A and B are shown apart, each in its own frame.
Chain A
Amino acid sequence: MLTHRIDTDNYARGYFESLKDLKSGLSYFQVWGYLSFQDIKQRYRRSVIGPFWITISNAILIAMLSLQYGALFGQPLVVYAPYLASGMLIWAFISITINEATNLFFDNRNIIQQVNYPLSFYVYRLISRNIIILAHNFLIMPIIYYLFDITLDLLDVFFVILGVITLSVKLFCICLCFAILCTRYRDIQPLITNVVQAVFFISPIMWLPIVLENKGVATWLLIINPMYYILDMVRSPMLGQSPAVESVLVCFSLTAFLFCMTFYILAKTKSKVVYWI
């Protein structure tokens, strides 16, 4: 239920406004949870296989790529296929979420202009919808585990869950910032789409970091690429290995940094976004 008393003089200011927005957005968890569930249902309403098309189309792509690119990078299938499968599904989660964020407030303008939901509400809905899609994609992994004889222990499962949670928090922050910036500056959206595409190629998703050992600038570029650590944090435990310590450190400090940045941007722009739509 929405607020029963509105007083524009009592609107929280600055950082309190950010805190209030994030907190009250979270309190609508039933609402955005239900709506994101309906979003998925809507997409596949008339399809027999439904949301599992996401799983199937990914499985087909991964099967094709594994056969050819594995040979291209000189990796045996048993190493390459699980690596690619895990990398692709994490990447799909990241890229689709970020691309959808660029139009988020514009797409929801009808609601934003007449119902006083916090801005974070729309981002929570976006993230939860994409987590549901990620969950569907995860169904490829048991097949991979079976085919290539990989076993996970409890610690790995714990790390996968931890990894997905920190990744989701990072995406939440990035999406909220991007959604705000893209509402104000309409040129940022194509820029983001392009950068996301470029990041796909410069990050170790289709290729293994091993191929870049001792390659000078290329190695250096990989080391400063945060996506390298973000991927490793989730992917390694999915393959039954523990993530590198530096990946965990980079991921946690990045999450903290992004959270502070979001807090700042939200404080600066919260009351203006509705005027920009």
Chain B
Amino acid sequence: MSPKSITFSDVSISFPIFTADRSIRRKILKSRGRVEENTNADPNHRFVESLKNINLSIGTGQKVGLYGPNGAGKTTLLRSMTGTYKPEKGRIIIDGRVTSLLDITIGFMDDATGYENITIQGLQLGMSFEEIRKKTNQIIDFSDIGEKIFLPVRTYSSGMRVRLAFSICTCIEPEILLLDEWLSVGDAEFQKKVSDHLGELIKDVSIVVIASHSLSLLRSICTEIIHLEAGSINHLESVRK
């Protein structure tokens, strides 16, 4: 297996703010010189800096935790690892197949059966039909849903939904796996199941990046923890096992 890596060099990501000025009217009026207030602070050029000058390099075998308060940039950093954000400044290089489980219940169709939803969600997560076909039985076993897999997802309890979603996501065999806060949702029993399986799941994954509020969870899983603060890397913590 070729080495996998994530490299960020001097990456900054900022989001434009469009408030009520997010309208074409203002632009038209302005171009004719009729709006005079706010001429210095052009509302179309205000930004929120979400990530500032991030430099990092993650290699094969590393399990990295992202820790920080709300708004520190954890989610943006994770999303940018999927390649969806083209940074205005800096460069992102990712080698390996990325699977992001940032929101695990995306695209569930309520009236479709659990069985159909395996395909629906698998496709939306970037799996091919063939992979899904191969994994279907494994997913059903793992989710513990049994015969109910042939009933509409609408009839599932929220716990069952999460279990199904989680099982689909974890059977993909990713090379690079991105996980977000949702690890801390669900009841105690499910949490235990997640943390039990998480170890199993990420055993074969080359690179894992997890964002969480819980330092203890991160310390138990990760090899490194990146402490983020206000969009920058505050410090790096190595976890000794």
Which A positions have Cβ atoms within 8 angstroms of B? 1-9, 11, 30-31, 34-35, 38, 41-42, 45-46, 110-117, 184-188, 271, 274-276
Q: Which of B69-118 contact A (CB under 8 A)?
A: 79, 82-87, 90-98, 100, 102-103, 106-107, 109-112, 116
A123 to chain B minimum Cβ distance, whole angstroms, is: 16
A275 is contacted by which of B85, B90, B110 (Cβ under 8 Å)?
Answer: B85
Q: Are A38 and B120 in contact (CB under 8 A)?
A: yes
B88 to chain A minimum Cβ distance, whole angstroms, is: 9
Interface size class of B (residues with CB under 8 A): 35 or more
B51 to chain A minimum Cβ distance, whole angstroms, is: 12
Which B positions have Cβ atoms within 8 angstroms of A? 15-16, 18, 22-25, 79, 82-87, 90-98, 100, 102-103, 106-107, 109-112, 116, 119-120, 123-129, 131, 152, 175
Q: Are B119 and A34 in contact (CB under 8 A)?
A: yes
**Known contacts A8-B91, A45-B152; is A114 also within 8 Å of B112 by CB?**
no
Hey, which chain B residues are within 8 Å of A34, CB to CB?
Answer: 119, 123, 129
A49 to chain B minimum Cβ distance, whole angstroms, is: 16
Q: Are A7 and B92 in contact (CB under 8 A)?
A: yes
Bound CA span A73–B86, Å: 56
Hey, which chain A residues are within 8 Å of B90, CB to CB?
Answer: 8
Q: Are A186 and B124 in contact (CB under 8 A)?
A: no
A108 to chain B minimum Cβ distance, whole angstroms, is: 9
Q: Are A6 and B92 in contact (CB under 8 A)?
A: yes
Bound CA span A212–B214, Å: 72
A28 to chain B minimum Cβ distance, whole angstroms, is: 9
Q: Are B84 and A2 in contact (CB under 8 A)?
A: no
User: B101's closest neighbor in chain A, by CB?
Assistant: A114
Q: Are A276 and B16 in contact (CB under 8 A)?
A: yes
Q: Are A185 and B22 in contact (CB under 8 A)?
A: yes
B85 is contacted by which of A35, A117, A186, A274 (Cβ under 8 Å)?
Answer: A274
A55 to chain B minimum Cβ distance, whole angstroms, is: 21
Bound CA span A2–B125, Å: 9
Bound CA span A5–B175, Å: 12
